[in-house]
Amino acid sequence: MGQPEEPMKKKQTIAGYFPHRGGRSGRLRWAWILMALGAIIACREVPIPAASSANAAGAEAAGNGAKAAEATASGISEALAASDTAPLPHIDAKRAFEYTREVTAFGARYMGSENHKKLERYILSHVKGDEVEDDTFTADTVEGKFPIRNIIAKYPGKKDGIIAILGHYDTNYPLRYTGYVGANDGGSSTAILLEFANQLRGKTRDGYSVWLVWTDGEEAVRAWSDSDSLYGTRHLAEKWEKDGTLKKIKALMVMDMIAPKDVAILRDSNSTPWLLDLIYAAAQKGGYQSHFYAIDTAMEDDHIPFVKRGVPCADVIDMPYGYNDVFHHTPQDTMDKLSPDSLQIVGDTILETVRLVDQKP
Ligand SMILES: [Zn+2]
């Protein structure tokens, strides 16, 4: 209920995506109306985690353990967050915002382009000295063959297991001559992972190892479909399934389009509920909860190849981008739409979530 007719596909070409730009206008217009209705309905339905939190807090204050003893999935998240007295981690959001600016300044960074290569070198220069692995291959697409390179930086932990954080760094091939620079879509995801690397570098974590993955070929080369999208992660998920890595992954979180001013992360129904709840609990700890889950919908993003293989996943994404999604996949996706405050909100929340996953039984 309250869902679009089909999963919200974040990566479609502008002609196919927007109701006012022609194409499949009627059906898509209904999808948007339904999504808007979903948002209204979600306002009533989504505060379940918040409500249970209020209950738990109230029960605790009254010395009444009855309600706190209610064993729900979100209750476990709340209990984890409440029992944890460690301070909330903080990223350097100013620095992350500068990374976003620098990445965006390369211009269009579509697969096979010179700017893409420059960005690969830029990412590698920032993780120099860290344990870095490449996942490279050639993608055979409807627009020809393209080299794909997922870049993986690994930060060790004492616990046996991996927490993976993914974010794509490519921009859209079909938009290559439009002046499109993807500040939010591609820029912010690249940048926040670079900042996470700064926070993780130079120490062995007490919890699980954290692997950061700059994914490539997330965007469609023509129009979003199962076969024209997610080139990098489809390859990586298959590889990790074969080599046994997937079994070790305790949680996988995708960062995408996370920097718009007054960020609003949606609740993705293709993601794993307990992990979404854990993220919400982490956000509450920072007082950031109003930036999470006002909209409830189904997303297709880099997490899907892992969702299909049973990995606990969360897609952390802000959509629509601008009212009516007007900035998404347009040359208006520029730095002036973004805020370091949003990177702070998402960055702190995700680092806190990593700590909560460490402690999850
Ligand atoms: Zn995109």
Query: pLDDT digits over 250-283, tens only?
Result: 999 999 999 999 999 999 999 999 999 999 999 9
Task: Give dist(CA 335, CA 106) in Å, integer.
Answer: 13
Residue 85: what pLDDT? Answer: 76
Residue 2: what pLDDT? Answer: 33
CA 240 to ligand 1 center in whole angstroms: 24
CA 171 to ligand 1 center in whole angstroms: 7
CA 278 to ligand 1 center in whole angstroms: 26
CA 195 to ligand 1 center in whole angstroms: 21
pTM recorded for the entire structure: 0.82
- Ordered mean pLDDT values, 10 residues apiece, the chain (361 residues): 46 34 33 40 28 32 35 58 79 98 98 98 98 98 98 98 98 98 98 98 97 98 97 98 98 98 98 98 97 97 98 98 98 98 98 97 90
CA 313 to ligand 1 center in whole angstroms: 19
Task: Spell out the residues 6+ positions from residue 226 whose beta carbon is closer than 8 angstroms to its own.
Answer: none
Q: Return left, alpha or beta for 293; rule: phi > 0 is left, psi -120 to 50 is alpha, else beta.
A: left
CA 273 to ligand 1 center in whole angstroms: 24
CA 78 to ligand 1 center in whole angstroms: 33
CA 353 to ligand 1 center in whole angstroms: 25
Question: φ and ψ at 57, to 5 degrees?
Answer: -65, -45
CA 256 to ligand 1 center in whole angstroms: 8
HSE-up of residue 42 (Cα within 13 Å, Cβ side): 20
Residue 78: what pLDDT? Answer: 65
Residue 98: what pLDDT? Answer: 98
